[in-house]
Structure 1
Amino acid sequence: MNDLAQGLAVGPGAVAAPVAASLAETGRMAWVDIVKAAGIFLIVFGHLPVEPLVAKFLWTFHVPLFFFLSGYLSRPAGARAFARRLSLRLVLPYFVAYALLTLIMLRTLDWGVLRPVLTGAFHGTHSYPGFISAPLWFVPALVVVELLYFAFQRRLWALYPVALGVSLWLYHNGKIDLFMSVDLALLGLNYFLLGALARSTGVVDRLARVPLAAALLAGLGLAVVVDLALAGNVWYTGGAYMRSVLGGVAGIAMMIAFALNVRESPLLRNRAVRFVSENTLFILCFHGVSNGYAHAFVSRFAIEGTLLKSGLAAALSILLLVPFAMLFRRWAPWAIGAAPSARRAAV
């Protein structure tokens, strides 16, 4: 266990954080940009009308992917640095987003429910009737995961079997959407730890040097996810806990392997992909608003096929958020969990 702990002790990370510097001399991990941009597109797309099988396919892995990336991009930190980073990269942006979404929704809210709505921020789960926006559950869940992982770094690895046991019990008893989304956090912890382990072992770097292996892994991952989707599996509920975890891992492997094979493409290695990658937290928090406008606009046209219509709406939904993300990165990067240097980069 000590060897494993040393291998995983690479510190706290967050989906909000800018893409980490590569260990290689390239300075950036292009595959991370591609995976993050593709992953947030799939999340936006998954919140639009899609066929049931497509929804099961997406919900097998697209959220676990971000837990994995948070673990992969994590960094070592002492207690004070950890608290500061967690507060600035996740907690503060969560409350800012919650407050802004409450203001946006004021015109549709009864003033009598405003207090329960604001209280919902401290419940951190969309099962609470006043929770302002369902996608925000991910942020409290990731905070829980970060806190647990920090405890693990302090040689409290005995907590993981306990967390796993609680997660198994909650899963098999259908206990979902709990306070601070702790049920989903405990599931997500598995993917976070897998990401930290992948980083410490350098497995992705080794896979990148063998394109054929990456291509085969992408195909295998796709086959597993499709098979599990046909069986009705999604990451947070399904027939079996380990099958759920397997589906998430297969989807993560599929996405990473695909990104490794296309990372040199000029079409994907550009500023647009990088910008979306760096603003996944902002898009996650606010696409619930832009989705409605995007879908309403696309629906005005006679577009055949639900997938095409929702795909176009997802792209438009993200595009609508770009100018707002730019404004925040220019004038208030702290509000969206961006690094202070984001202001200079936006100039």
Structure 2
Amino acid sequence: MSALPTRRDTRLDAARAIAIVLVVLGHARGIPGAFALLVFSFNVPLFFLVSGWVTTAHGQARSDAQALARLARGLLLPYLGFFLLAYLYWLLTRHIGEKALRWGDLPWWDPLLGALRANGPGLYVQPALWFLPALFVTVLAFRPLVRRLPPSLLAAVAAAVAWAWIAWFPPLGLRLPWGLDVLPVALFFFACGATVGRLPARARAFLEWRGMAFLLAAAWLPLAWLNSRVDVNMLRFGQWPPLFLLVALLGAGMVLGVAGRIGHWPAVQWIGRNTLLILGTHFPVFFVLSGVRSLAGVQSPPGLGWALGVSVLALLAAVPLRWILVRWAPWMLGVAPSSREPAVGMPEAGRR
């Protein structure tokens, strides 16, 4: 990779912050279906797009061996650590309440097989972790391709491949390990981010225009609603799969426009710099709170109040959890043991 480090763009951290907050809300039980429909129309693609942008605009030149080592440290070690924590909790609680009905008869080693497959259906003890191996595979695929094609051309080729892939592969009912079945889609958004990241600052000025987010939202909202529910992890791309790529780009652009306005807020920056931590901990927090709710004998189904409450608690829990992990297991945050500061945001190849 030939990109040189540049001044940090707070817009990218703010975009990650918005995206991870929406992920947490979207995963909370009781959240309205319409909210999840709209959020997941662009949320996962936004993460891939921002990762491609950061890799290109803020990366360093590294050999393939160096890049692989950094990716393994920044993505695979956190994947392993957060999975093992969730797996331990699953072992201790799988015969209690709802879990007894869903997973009580499964052998103790079944989640371990899911961790080896590293895709959505197998990661039921920690569903959000699928993104880390998917990003790992995406970056590995991007590096050799971008040496042969400029990011803009790579994005165009990847768009054609992604359209064909989402029309052909999901109906087969097959799943590939390590996010390989998500790769064609992820590579498109990653290459789009890399394309934007290589543009001169003046060429990206359109994101600063105050009306851009509203303009993009006006186009995104009806199209996202028309396409219906999307779940990239489960290879569901809505009622009109070819429309998915356009909707996701519109939604990502909308968030980037908003992010430029709130990027200087301290809380937003903190969340944006700790997206890996929040990704890896919000589901365990949800599981614990749901277990407490069940033991308390609450029979009513979770509603919006519950969804908002547990989401806030999951975000707040990241503060003490960060303190604990930085001191006792920094490798779970993608940090070398000799460092006391966690990786900034979601680890990506080329991270400073």
Correspondence 1:221 to 2:216: yes
Runs of 4+ more than 6 Å apart: 156-159, 295-301
3-state SS of 1:239 partner: coil
**Equivalent residue number for residue 246 of structure 1:** 246
Contact 2:196 2:204 in 1 (8 A): no
Shift of 1:308: 5.4
**Equivalent residue number for residue 311 of structure 2:** 314
Query: Alignment partner for residue 335 of structure 2, among 330, 335, 338?
Result: 338
Q: Which runs of 5+ in 2 are unaligned?
A: 95-103, 344-352
Correspondence 1:50 to 2:31: yes
CA distance in 2, matches of 1:331, 1:144: 28
Could you say if the C-alpha distance between residues 296 and 113 of structure 1 is closer, same or farther in structure 2, counting changes exceeding 3 Å?
Answer: closer
Could you say if the C-alpha distance between residues 250 and 160 of structure 1 is closer, same or farther in structure 2, counting changes exceeding 3 Å?
Answer: closer
Shift of 1:245: 0.7
Which string of whole-angstrom CA distances, capped at 9 and with x for unpartnered residues, describes residues 28-56 of structure 1?
A: 32212211111111000000122222111
Shift of 1:233: 4.8
CA distance in 2, matches of 1:337, 1:52: 33
Shift of 1:10: 5.5
Shift of 1:119: 1.8
**Equivalent residue number for residue 350 of structure 2:** none
Shift of 1:208: 4.6
CA distance in 2, matches of 1:175, 1:221: 34
- Give matches, 1:264-275, under 5 Å: 264=264, 268=265, 270=266, 272-275=267-270
CA distance in 1, matches of 2:118, 2:270: 27
Q: Structure 1 length as normaliser, TM-score?
A: 0.78
Shift of 1:261: 2.5
Contact 2:53 2:196 in 1 (8 A): yes
Could you say if the C-alpha distance between residues 307 and 228 of structure 1 is closer, same or farther in structure 2, counting changes exceeding 3 Å?
Answer: farther
Shift of 1:310: 2.4
Contact 1:141 1:182 in 2 (8 A): yes
Contact 2:31 2:307 in 1 (8 A): yes
**Equivalent residue number for residue 5 of structure 1:** none
Shift of 1:175: 4.4
Correspondence 1:68 to 2:49: yes
Correspondence 1:34 to 2:28: no
Q: Which range moves more in the overlay, 250-259 or 315-324?
A: 315-324
Could you say if the C-alpha distance between residues 244 and 78 of structure 1 is closer, same or farther in structure 2, counting changes exceeding 3 Å?
Answer: same
Q: Which runs of 5+ in 1 are unaligned?
A: 1-8, 12-19
CA distance in 2, matches of 1:172, 1:112: 27
CA distance in 1, matches of 2:305, 2:194: 36
- Structure with greater contact order relative to length (CA < 8 Å, sep ≥ 6): 2
**Matched AA of 1:290:** V
Could you say if the C-alpha distance between residues 312 and 207 of structure 1 is closer, same or farther in structure 2, counting changes exceeding 3 Å?
Answer: farther
Q: Structure 2 length as normaliser, TM-score?
A: 0.77
Q: Work out the percentage of aligned pairs sharing the same amino acid.
A: 27
Could you say if the C-alpha distance between residues 162 and 73 of structure 1 is closer, same or farther in structure 2, counting changes exceeding 3 Å?
Answer: same
Which string of whole-angstrom CA distances, capped at 9 and with x for unpartnered residues, describes residues 137-167 of structure 1?
A: 1112111211110221343769958954762
Q: Which range moves more in the overlay, 89-98 or 292-301?
A: 292-301
Contact 1:135 1:288 in 2 (8 A): yes
Correspondence 1:122 to 2:116: yes
Correspondence 1:77 to 2:62: yes
- Give matches, 1:1-347, under 5 Å: 23-24=6-7, 28-48=8-28, 49-74=30-55, 75=59, 76-109=61-94, 113-128=107-122, 131-155=124-148, 160=158, 164=162, 167-170=165-168, 173=171, 175=173, 177-202=175-200, 206-208=203-205, 211=208, 213=209, 215-231=210-226, 232-234=228-230, 236=232, 237-264=237-264, 268=265, 270=266, 272-293=267-288, 306-307=303-304, 309-338=306-335, 343=340
**Matched AA of 2:322:** A
Which string of whole-angstrom CA distances, capped at 9 and with x for unpartnered residues, describes residues 106-157 of structure 1?
A: 11246962222112111011323x6422111111211121111022134376
Contact 2:207 2:257 in 1 (8 A): no
3-state SS of 1:313 partner: helix
**Matched AA of 2:315:** I
Q: Which range moves more in the overlay, 168-177 or 110-119?
A: 168-177
CA distance in 1, matches of 2:159, 2:10: 35
Contact 1:57 1:225 in 2 (8 A): no
